[in-house]
Amino acid sequence: MLGPLLGTKLYLPRRKEGMVARDRLVQRLERGAAEKLLLVSAPAGFGKTTLLTDWLSGAPFAAGRARRAAWLSLDRSDNDPRVFWTYVVAALHSVEAGAGRSEPQLVALDQPPTQVLLTALLNDLGSTGDDIVLILDDYHVIDAPEIHDGIAFLLDHMPPRLHVVISSRADPAIPLARLRARGELVEVRAANLRFTPDEAAAYLNGTMGLQLTHADVAALDARTEGWIAALQLAALSIQGRDDAARYIAGFTGDDRYIVDYLVEEVLQRLPADVREFVLHVSLLDRFNSSLCAAVTGSDTAKATLDTLEQANLFLVSLDDRREWYRYHHLFADMLRSRLTQESPAVAAQIHRRASDWYAANGEPAQAVEHAMAGGHLARAADLIELAIPQMRRDRQEAALRRWCEALPLELLRARPVLSNSFAGALLSTGETRGVDGHLLNAERWLDPTVARRESVASGAQLMVVVDEDEFRRVPAGVAVHRAGLALFLGDPAGTVSHARRAMDLLEEGDELGRGAATALIALASWGSGDLETARDAYTKTLVSMERAGHIADILGCSIALADIQITQGRLRDAMRTYQRALLLATSGGGPPLRGTPDMYVGMSAIHREGNDIEGATELLARSRELGEHVGLPQNPYRWRVAMARVREAEADLDGAAGLLDEAEGVYVGDFSPNVRPVAAMRARIHIKLGRIADASDWARGQQLSTADDLSYLREYDHITLARALLARCAIQPTAERLDVATSLLGRLLDAAEAGGRTGSAIELLILQAQAFAMKGSAAAALVPLERALLLAEPEGYVRAFVDGGSSISSLLSLALKRGIAGDYVGDLLAAFGPIPQPVPARQAPIHPLSERELQILRLLGGDLGGPEIARQLVVSLNTVRTHTKSIYSKLGVNDRRAAVRRGEELGLMSWTRDRPGRSSARGE
């Protein structure tokens, strides 16, 4: 979407000489630029943009501090959060090279969560450096609530060096009252902007060089009520008249819409060809001489533009080279309304020419918009169809959906390529309604006999295809979308059968299509417990995605594949899956790809299973260092679960429980089946803590029973239930209870083995050994234990045994005596080691810092004092002190310096992500 017009939107217009000095407003502006938000809110034509550009281009310093202005002129097409924030990042980047470093892959997401993107942006900006003023001009064109929310979030979290200026015809939908109450908002409104009589005199007789009497100036000022656009138009229409006084008297005494009237006056004074040029060009949001020539047919477009600029006829220059211009908005609106009312046919023709020019100049989005504005809907449909391959590559499904929604159904019906892509765009923006109908529309053209018969019978439309290559992809595309629709509707069998059909239909070399189809098969099979099919399909997805160069998707699929491999007891394969994805993600040499931290989290869990707790902790620290915002949607949840398991291995059960609580709060499914629910993990910690009653409450709440039918999706819950039963037996053993537990374990084991879930089987065999030992038969217990050892040894399992505690260590000693799996058992027994000592000072704290404490710790690393930190976080100084005390005690330190040093050792200070000496740790 970021075409070559980018530069014109970020261009801060230069100050013009001889403008009316508005010192009375500058003070207010300076005050606003020191606060969070300066709002310039007034109707069209009140000189908002001019005021801001004059002020900023003349004031690079404020209060002795250097200040940089990041300018962004908004227009209607910025109403998409993705486009909007991309431009904001680009604007900030233009004044601060570091801003938006992590932006390229973030904007490549299909739907970047705004908060995630903003957090990354704020991290990059940091809290030190020159002041930056971000100006959002014409903010009234924005009505997407997500963007308003994003602005509110930005205002709440931005560092004090950043200031936002919004200029708008309407108050923006952000919490202005709150900002006002906190004194963080300065406003410039219509009442402030109106020209005073003195300013009107300075403008008319100074800037515009008129020689009006005091009475004439007063009459004009009263009639226009200080409305600047009206005064400007009046000045232009008076210029060169001998009878200024009579002319003024002619319109100051009535109620006509003065701007409209004066535009007419100004137009009348232009030569006919120039007048026509001015009117025709008004339909363009921006224009250069080439575009003007194309739409007006004039061969003197460049000269005419120069004339208009010299005559001050409402042109705003959009660059330093005098190439791109726009009209003052109010003037453009007046001309547009006039042209569309008086000559609608001409207006439609101009839109068509503009559309053709944009299409020929590589701006398909503008080409489509103009075709639609001119009512050339068939042409628009053609253009959209041609843009589809590029839009698919750029993940522009939301824009595609908007366009298709604007087309009449009859047009869509005749176009199989568009219908199919529309269905895909709906699905990828989370909408299932209408998908089936569009797919049916596409499908009915796929059988040539049916299509012909229908058009003959009804005399109706014939099929329209612009892009033959895309048409050949329609049959497979429809099948993929049918599979996606079935997955949305909870029909795994349908998903798999449509996706398999797609596989048969896909063209040779359509790796993106193949990747999508296999991924759908994998997801549906995983959810229904067919792990082998899922593993096979994901493996194929990875091959296709790599061939198609979609590395970002490889990372997401690798997590799912490794999850499946771990359940299947293939730890070494899972490790290879992560390593391979990591290699791909880091081989580009750029900033880490989204999903990189997730690979570290996954690898950490395998290190933990091998009892390499230090290695596991280090990997989690690396993930944290890259930041959650570089992670996939599940990263916050998965990181906490992995860290909880590390804590558990360190015998810090309270710490583990706390992390699981946090994990539950940030859980997202992201289409993966929830096969290891956090609540069950917490129940397991409660069991270890001896809180059997809590575990029973959990089981009751989940309506779990030993008599349930067993399924893969609930396997983890049922194994947890078995653990709870065994724990109760350990306290109050009864034969009946033990029988219930062993019977459940036996059934679970059968199911796990039938489903090829060796990882689950190892866990269940160890539990069985414990159950048999409780029954008093060590010999019987050694049977399942020996099987577990056999399965676990080649994959390097350690914690599965060690977490079983003393009952397993006794059984292992016995096994060693009997010569079972000698070396392995010896290693396992060594891993039981001494009881873990209290955590030494250089390791991570037992009690993790809360998010708020982390935030404060990071601020402590900067140069803000306590009161400033309190102000920034909008809490009281006392609250900051309480948190600080808690941070010191958790980190085992006594002062700020030591806390910061300790935080750095633990990798907690990742506010700015590329600390010297750390970046080299990545990418090996």
Partner 1 sequence: MNETRSGQRDPDGPVWYQIRLKGHLASRWSAWFGGLTLTREDGGTTLIEGAVIDQSELHGLLQRIRDTGLPLVSLTSAETCGSHQPAAAPPD
> Residue 418 CB, nearest distance to partner 1 (Å)?
25
> Residue 140 CB, nearest distance to partner 1 (Å)?
8
Q: Coil, helix or strand for 903?
A: helix
User: Judging by beta carbons within 10 Å of its beta carbon (0-12, 13-18, 19+), is residue 358 exposed, middle or buried?
Assistant: buried
What residue type is 266 in one-letter code? Answer: V
Nearer to partner 1, 79 or 706 (CB): 79
Q: Which of residues 339-358 bind partner 1 (CB under 8 A)?
A: 340-342, 344
The pair phi, psi for residue 671, each rounded to 5°, is: 75, -10
Nearer to partner 1, 260 or 319 (CB): 260
Strand partners, 71: 135
Residue closest to 775 by CA, chosen among 827, 740, 826: 740
Nearer to partner 1, 282 or 635 (CB): 282
Stretch that binds partner 1, among 332-340, 536-544, 779-787, 908-916 (CB under 8 A): 332-340
Structure tokens at 553: 């998707």
> Residue 43 CB, nearest distance to partner 1 (Å)?
4
Rounded distance, CA 668 to CA 559, Å?
A: 14
**Sign of torsion, CA 348 349 350 353?**
positive
Nearer to partner 1, 61 or 257 (CB): 257
What residue type is 742 in one-letter code? Answer: T
Which pairs count as long-range contacts for 694-698, CB under 8 Å and 24+ apart, including other chains? 695/720, 695/723, 695/724, 695/727, 696/724, 696/728
> Residue 76 CB, nearest distance to partner 1 (Å)?
11
806 binding partner 1? (CB under 8 A): no
Pairing type for strands 162-168 and 185-189 reads unpaired
Rounded distance, CA 133 to CA 725, Å?
A: 63
> Residue 674 CB, nearest distance to partner 1 (Å)?
39
338 binding partner 1? (CB under 8 A): yes
Binds partner 1 (CB under 8 A): choice among 5, 44, 218, 466: 44
Strand locations in 267-331 (E):
315-317, 325-327
Q: Which of residues 122-151 bind partner 1 (CB under 8 A)?
A: 140
Binds partner 1 (CB under 8 A): choice among 2, 66, 170, 440: 170
Per-residue CA distances from 340 to 286, 287, 335, 480, 922 (Å): 18, 19, 9, 44, 59
Give residue 647's Cα distance to chain centre.
31
Binds partner 1 (CB under 8 A): choice among 155, 162, 231, 330: 330
Binds partner 1 (CB under 8 A): choice among 30, 35, 43, 488: 43
Residue closest to 827 by CA, chosen among 806, 805, 802, 807: 802
Nearer to partner 1, 401 or 728 (CB): 401
508 binding partner 1? (CB under 8 A): no
Nearer to partner 1, 337 or 674 (CB): 337
Nearer to partner 1, 208 or 259 (CB): 259
Are residues 230 and 258 in contact, defined by beta-carbon separation less than 8 angstroms? yes
Per-residue CA distances from 715 to 62, 523, 525, 602, 784 (Å): 64, 18, 16, 21, 19
DSSP letters, 815-882, are HHHTTSSHHHHHHHHHHH-SPPPSPPTTSPPSSPPPHHHHHHHHHHTTT--HHHHHHHHTS-HHHHHH
**∠ at Cα 506 (500, 507), nearest 5°?**
160
Stretch that binds partner 1, among 303-311, 325-333, 513-521, 591-599 (CB under 8 A): 325-333
Pairing type for strands 65-73 and 131-137 reads parallel
Stretch that binds partner 1, among 57-65, 171-179, 331-339, 786-794 (CB under 8 A): 331-339
**∠ at Cα 102 (98, 105), nearest 5°?**
145
732 binding partner 1? (CB under 8 A): no
**∠ at Cα 538 (532, 539), nearest 5°?**
90
> Residue 258 CB, nearest distance to partner 1 (Å)?
7
> Residue 279 CB, nearest distance to partner 1 (Å)?
14
Stretch that binds partner 1, among 79-87, 329-337, 671-679, 746-754 (CB under 8 A): 329-337
Rounded distance, CA 639 to CA 620, Å?
A: 7
DSSP letters, 73-120, are E--GGG-SHHHHHHHHHHHHHHH-TTTTTTHHHHTTSSS--HHHHHHH
Binds partner 1 (CB under 8 A): choice among 17, 242, 254, 736: 254
> Residue 237 CB, nearest distance to partner 1 (Å)?
17
Stretch that binds partner 1, among 108-116, 251-259, 290-298, 488-496 (CB under 8 A): 251-259
Q: Which residue has the tokens 């993600």?
A: 585
Binds partner 1 (CB under 8 A): choice among 76, 250, 257, 393: 257
> Residue 483 CB, nearest distance to partner 1 (Å)?
35
> Residue 195 CB, nearest distance to partner 1 (Å)?
14
> Residue 727 CB, nearest distance to partner 1 (Å)?
58
Binds partner 1 (CB under 8 A): choice among 242, 255, 299, 823: 255
Binds partner 1 (CB under 8 A): choice among 1, 258, 262, 359: 258
Rounded distance, CA 274 to CA 291, Å?
A: 16
Nearer to partner 1, 221 or 612 (CB): 221
> Residue 341 CB, nearest distance to partner 1 (Å)?
4
Q: Which residues of 183-202 are buried (b: 16+ CB within 10 A; e: fewer)?
A: eebbbbeeeebbbeeebbbb
Stretch that binds partner 1, among 250-258, 601-609, 639-647, 694-702 (CB under 8 A): 250-258
Stretch that binds partner 1, among 330-338, 372-380, 703-711, 832-840 (CB under 8 A): 330-338
Q: Which of residues 209-248 bind partner 1 (CB under 8 A)?
A: 227, 229
Nearer to partner 1, 7 or 43 (CB): 43
User: Judging by beta carbons within 10 Å of its beta carbon (0-12, 13-18, 19+), is residue 76 exposed, middle or buried?
Assistant: exposed
Are residues 772 and 781 in contact, defined by beta-carbon separation less than 8 angstroms? yes
Nearer to partner 1, 128 or 337 (CB): 337
In the shown chain, the binding pattern of residues 2 to 41 toward partner 1, with x for contact by CB under 8 A and - for none, equals: ----------------------------------------
Binds partner 1 (CB under 8 A): choice among 290, 337, 711, 843: 337
Stretch that binds partner 1, among 145-153, 193-201, 337-345, 713-721 (CB under 8 A): 337-345
The site that binds partner 1 (CB under 8 A) totals a number of residues, namely 25
Greatest pairwise CA separation for the chain in angstroms? 119
Stretch that binds partner 1, among 112-120, 253-261, 290-298, 707-715 (CB under 8 A): 253-261
Taking the CA atoms of residue 124, residue 125, residue 126 and residue 132 in that order, the dihedral angle to the nearest 10 degrees is 180
Stretch that binds partner 1, among 123-131, 258-266, 392-400, 864-872 (CB under 8 A): 258-266
169 binding partner 1? (CB under 8 A): yes
Residues that bind partner 1 (CB under 8 A): 43-46, 140, 169-170, 227, 229, 254-260, 329-330, 333, 337-338, 340-342, 344
